[in-house]
Amino acid sequence: MNDDSVYDGLLGGDDSQWAFGTDFEDPLAGVDTTLPEGVDGAALAAYCLMLGDDALVLSHRLSEWCSNAPDLEEDIALANVALDLLGQARLLLARAAAADPSVVPVLPEGSPVPPEDALAFFRDQDAFRNVRLVEGDRGDFAVTTVRLLVASTWRLALMQRLATSRDAVLSAIAAKAVKELAYHRDHAARWVVTLGSGTEESRRRTEAALATVWPLRWELDRTHEVERTLAADGVAVDPADVAAEVDVLLDQVLAAAGLEVPEVKRTGGLGGRTGRDGVHTEALGKVLAEMQSVARAHPAGRW
Amino acid sequence: MTQVEQERELQAQFDAVVARHDRIEPRDWMPEGYRKTLVRQIAQHAHSEIIGMQPEGNWITRAPSLRRKATLLAKVQDEAGHGLYLYSACETLGVSRAELTELLIEGKQKYSSIFNYPTLSYADVGTIGWLVDGAAIANQVPLCRTSYGPYGRAMIRICKEESFHQRQGFELLMTMMRGTDAQRAMVQESVDRFWWPALMMFGPPDDASPNTAQSMAWGIKRDTNDELRQKFVDMTVPQAERLGVTLPDPAIAWNAERGHYDFGEPDWEEFAAVVRGEGPCNAQRIAHRRRAHEEGAWVREAASAFAAQQAAAQQAQEVSA
């Protein structure tokens, strides 16, 4: 590189120089998004929103660590995990929009906002389908680590099975996600073992983090009607089918860390409804108020 | 050979390496002043990367599209990576990252004054990429040929990534200029705020830059502040025209005789004030870094304790085996 060449091309007309392209590209561009036979588009969209919103909201919480992590290496690692989840969210939201366009909020005529962004930035809280586990305040590093361990252990077990979904799009998304989640789970597990064994303080904080995160774990194991229907069609995974495996894996990590599975009361839902039904904790409203603020101020904006 | 003769010979070897634009490596003899100057400059550069994560990081959770969010998060992550390479380069000169971090949060070492300005709209993410990273590249590309090997090699990698960031920033502004009136106004307002601080990134005018001559003699620095500033203006003016924004300096005009753009004088009093610690965000930036560092102490301690436990366990195993 010489002194002049760094600026070459900035004013050129060749779009291929931009790593991400100068125009928005549908993350599913070129992918056949036809529904598999007999599958209800609305149910598939709802399912994709569940998994997509889990990733989007957890990614948001992890990205809050940027410039705040305990050291530079961890700052970079958490950003990596957040980026992976954001990528999964984009694909899943795009799949939801393709499966059932009616889930996408309607924007003013001529708005250039693509479906994935309309779903992320213009949906209200009660249309978000993520589990409540992922939306809580980022807390200290122990809370983030324990939450990531639970979320990534569950998601990896799920995605490993979803890779054989009858929906070719979901199956491809899952196959890609498995590689990423294996790293996330490993990273979180190593930290839980380190923190559980490290110092008195790190142990105390990790126990407190377990007490914060565990009450919301049960929601991951609960089968929603949408999951039941689609699992029967060979499109989705029934979370009941991964619950035992997740238990064993989490027990292994806690045992290696010398930590006990906490005895806690579960955080109840509202009239039997929880995050998957669009009923959330108070934290999600604040996440969305922040995340959606710029996009909503410019509904016809081009970014 | 007496010690004085020995030193003289080492100095002569060092001077010869610098004179033929070769690299000085960590195990080579170097004058103490050279080492100190390098530590100061590389540390300042590393701190700038780390503090520089904050103004852009400010918009990650509010990025208005998922694609922009991913781009921004990856960019700020790159800055953490640049900080890592540079702290490592500094460690080859015998100073640890922990020591340098202490000096930063104690306010004893500086970072680029530009990061003491706030980011007030999403357009700032683009403007920082275009103007701030652009100025940084103009400053840093000559450093790829700097005389100290580890620093020069770190700079090659950093410059490649910075150049990429600059393109992304310019592309964001281009896209916004093709959007709504409100977006165009946002871009113009952002450029108005960042133009002068970006020019100040090259440091004081040559006649007021005390360290330049020695740094140039040592081959640490390759161009003067004013030369770099001129180069930056010459490259940026046509880009602003293409973008459709007005640079907030009525004195900007092509000077055919000089073959350069003329431009006005930055407010050097403001620059001095920001360097003194009286910029809009100096206290906030350091407080943020200090808080993150202090809040992370228990995690770093746990990691060290765990590593020590593992090492002890391994040693015990080896002894018994």
Predicted confidence at residue B211, as pLDDT, reads: 76
Label residue A4 by pLDDT band (50, 70, 90).
very low
Residue B25 lies in a domain: no
Label residue A119 by pLDDT band (50, 70, 90).
very high
Cβ atoms of residues A298 and B182 within 8 Å: yes
In chain B, % of residues over pLDDT 90? 85
Mean pLDDT of A41-64: 98
Mean pLDDT of B181-200: 98
Name which of A11, A24, A79 is nearest B67 (Cβ-Cβ): A24
For A225-263, write each residue's pLDDT tens digit: 999 999 999 999 999 999 999 999 999 999 999 999 999
Cβ atoms of residues A276 and A219 within 8 Å: yes
Q: How many domains does chain B have?
A: 1
Cβ atoms of residues B100 and B265 within 8 Å: no
Q: What does the alpha-carbon distance between residue B202 and residue B225 come to, in Å, rounded to a whole number? A: 5
Phi/psi for B265 (5° steps) reads -95, 125
Is A117–B77 a contact, with Cβ atoms under 8 angstroms apart?
no
Label residue A23 by pLDDT band (50, 70, 90).
low
pLDDT above 80: residue A81: yes
Bridge partners, residue B254, by sequence: B261
Mean pLDDT of A84-96: 98
Is B60–A63 a contact, with Cβ atoms under 8 angstroms apart?
yes
For B225-260, write each residue's pLDDT tens digit: 999 999 999 999 999 999 999 999 999 999 999 999
Pick from B122, B263, B254, B105: nearest CA to B198:
B263
Widest distance between CA atoms in chain B: 82
Q: Which domain covers residue B142, as residue numbers?
A: 31-320
pLDDT above 90: residue B223: no
pTM of this structure: 0.94
Is A22–B159 a contact, with Cβ atoms under 8 angstroms apart?
no
Kindly give, in sequence order, each residue whose CB lies less than 8 Å from that of residue B44, ignoring residues fewer than 6 positions away.
B109, B110, B111, B112
ipTM above 0.85, yes or no: yes
Q: What does the alpha-carbon distance between residue B150 and residue B88 come to, in Å, rounded to a whole number? A: 9
Mean pLDDT of B172-199: 97
Kindly give, in sequence order, each residue whose CB lies less than 8 Å from that of residue A26, ignoring residues fewer than 6 positions away.
A94, A114
- Chain B positions in Cβ-Cβ contact with residue A294 (cut-off 8 Å): 59, 62-64, 122
Chain B, residues 203-222, CB within 8 A of chain A, namely none
Kindly give, in sequence order, each residue whose CB lies less than 8 Å from that of residue A49, ignoring residues fewer than 6 positions away.
A92, A93, A96, A103, A119, A127, A128, A129
To the nearest whole number, what is the mean pLDDT of chain B?
A: 94
Helix B66-91 and helix B149-177: axis angle, to 10°?
160
Strand, coil or helix: B253? strand
Pick from A143, A206, A144, A153: nearest CA to A182:
A153
Is B73–A291 a contact, with Cβ atoms under 8 angstroms apart?
no
Start-to-end CA distance of chain A, whole Å, equals 30
CATH number at residue B289: 1.20.1260.10
> How many CB contacts within 8 angstroms connect chain A with chain B?
194
Predicted confidence at residue A21, as pLDDT, reads: 45
Mean pLDDT of A143-165: 98
Task: List Cα–Cα distances, A50 to A40, A55, A92, A130, in angstroms.
Answer: 16, 9, 9, 5
Q: What does the alpha-carbon distance between residue A250 and residue A256 come to, in Å, rounded to a whole number? A: 10
Label residue B141 by pLDDT band (50, 70, 90).
confident
CATH C-level class of A39-297: mainly alpha
Predicted confidence at residue A18, as pLDDT, reads: 45
Kindly give, in sequence order, each residue whose CB lies less than 8 Å from that of residue B238, ignoring residues fewer than 6 positions away.
A11
Residue B194 lies in a domain: yes
Our CA-based measurement puts residue A52 at a distance from the nearest CA of chain B, in whole angstroms, of 12
Cβ atoms of residues A8 and B170 within 8 Å: no
Predicted confidence at residue A11, as pLDDT, reads: 58
pLDDT above 90: residue B215: no
Residue B233 lies in a domain: yes
Residue B242 lies in a domain: yes
